[in-house]
Amino acid sequence: MQKNIYICQNCAWEGSKWHGKCPQCSTWNSIAEEVKPILSPSKRPHFFISEKNKQPQTFSQIIKQDNKRYPSGLKEFDKVLGGGFVSGAFILLGGSPGVGKSTLLLQICGNVSQAKKVLYISAEESSSQSALRAKRLNINRPNLLFYNENSLEEILIQAEKIKPDLVILDSIQTVYLNSLSSAPGTVSQVKECAGLLMNFAKSSSTTVIVVGHVTKDGSLAGPRVLEHLVDTVLSIEGDSESQCRILRTNKNRFGPNNEIALFEMNEEGLEEITNPSEFFLSERLKDPIGSVIFPTIEGSRPLLCEIQALVTSSYLPMPRRACVGLDINRVHLVGAVLDKYLQVDLAKKDLAVNLVGGLKITEPASDLAIAIAILSSRFKNPIDSKSCFFAELGLTGELRSCRFALERVQEAEKLGFKQVYLPKSLESFFKKKTIKIKLNFKNHINEFKF
């Protein structure tokens, strides 16, 4: 039996009639008609459920059976995962077209296939296209098998025969189940295909990585249930004008969340950037005007980045505010505080703030660095290139403490910086620490003279 239903392609809402606006997520023109077969539980497709996994077990028995992690061959990628691949993990990798998803996964295939069996499935590219990329990356291993197929039933049958340690599917939006009449990429197909792949990964202890498409706003396409099903959600970001690529964890059941890894795209693929702070500061001028170093925290990793500000006279009735890589609302807040307590007079000035290198940060600890960069540009005073700034700025102008202060200071000290400006509330904390770098504790923004 079959029935016609209307499904929102954004949030997976189901209804019996069409709506121009989704009742659940309020998205316009996202509801499409699909034919949904009504299957009894005995006829629904289930694959590879072994009997031993159906028996109740104690936690001590499960821990004894737990497999150790194995490396991907890329140290930065392993750090993002929390130490490498876990057997039976189900991983989702998203990113915009052309950012390097397939290149990264093929490099991982080449590394892992040195010791383990890998099955790479492409539902988007032909065999010759993937072979050309493998040739460019100099990847040719006997344990690396390529399969070009769109039918998930056929893919799972081959995976059961080969019994690989790692399966990579590119992409989840282009495979389909024959038992469903809806088109590939629809909510019904993505949900059922993801459920079967998760079932296969857990029952066979095979690590499965699937590639997911993204929408124009950068979020993962398809139903939200896809992100709930997987163990790890990775996203790779990058600007078409820059060779830098940022791999970020948005969810991780086997390790820390919000970790990042940096890669540089070149002719030989993606090359790891082992010292991101040095990479982002490599082109910085000596004692520049309007440029400040801020020690940010990405996941558990401290990272030095450069914040630049430009203040110029405006000839418009309403001066412009431009911001790249930072939260524009925080920039407005910092500007208002500077106007109030330092009489900077930004009301008739154009203001542009930029985070160099393609990073994106939203943490409040960047407030002080943004303020100092604006003051430096406004009064044309250079900032010592060996100084760092971090603190949250309150609406009354006070400097507030922030998390991971010790890690930020240690990262600045490691890269040869001479002094750090930070909130006075942290003074008692650092008295108990052995720090060689000079620490300048400040209470209020009006203590900085320009």
Q: Which residue has the tokens 């890894």?
A: 261
Residue 369: what pLDDT? 96
pLDDT classification of 97: cutoffs 50, 70, 90: confident
- Do residues 190 and 226 touch, judged by C-beta distance below 8 A? yes
Kindly indicate the confidence band of residue 42, based on its pLDDT and cuts at 50, 70 and 90: very low
pLDDT single digits (tens) 380-402: 999 998 999 999 999 999 999 99
Does residue 235 surpass a pLDDT of 70? yes
pLDDT digits (tens, 9 = 90+) for 2-34: 667 888 877 778 888 888 888 888 888 888 887
434 pLDDT band, cuts 50/70/90, is confident
Give yes or no for residue 44 having a pLDDT over 70: no
- C-alpha to C-alpha distance for 431 and 418, rounded to whole angstroms: 18
pLDDT band at residue 65 using 50, 70 and 90 as cut-offs: low
* Beta pairing, strands 419-423 & 291-298: unpaired
**417 within 8 A of 437, measured Cβ to Cβ:** yes
Token code pair at residue 245: 């690529």
pLDDT tens per residue across span 240-267: 667 888 899 999 998 888 888 889 888 8
The predicted-structure confidence for 299-341, as pLDDT tens digits, reads as follows 778 899 999 999 999 988 899 999 999 999 999 999 999 999 9
pLDDT single digits (tens) 103-158: 999 999 999 999 999 999 998 888 888 888 888 888 888 899 999 999 999 999 99
- Return phi, psi of residue 155, to 5°: -65, -45
Lowest mean pLDDT among 155-164, 234-243, 256-265, 370-379: 234-243
Ranges 180-184, 204-208, 357-361, most confident: 204-208
Which residue's structure tokens are 């790891």? 272
Count of residues for the chain?
450
**Interatomic CA distance for residues 157 and 357, integer angstroms:** 45
| Per-residue pLDDT band at 64 (split at 50, 70, 90) | low
Confidence of residue 38 (pLDDT cuts 50, 70, 90): low
- Element spanning 422, H or E: strand 419-423
> Encoding tokens for residue 279?
């990479």
Percent of the chain with pLDDT over 70: 92
Dump the DSSP string for 247-284. Answer: EEEEEETTS-SS-EEEEEEETTEEEE-S-HHHHHTTTP
Nearest of 373, 313, 381 to residue 348 by alpha carbon: 313
Radius of gyration of the CA atoms of the chain, in A: 26
> Over 60: is that where the pLDDT of 270 sits?
yes
For the segment 36-42, the average pLDDT, to the nearest whole number, is: 52
The whole-number pLDDT of residue 57 equals 74
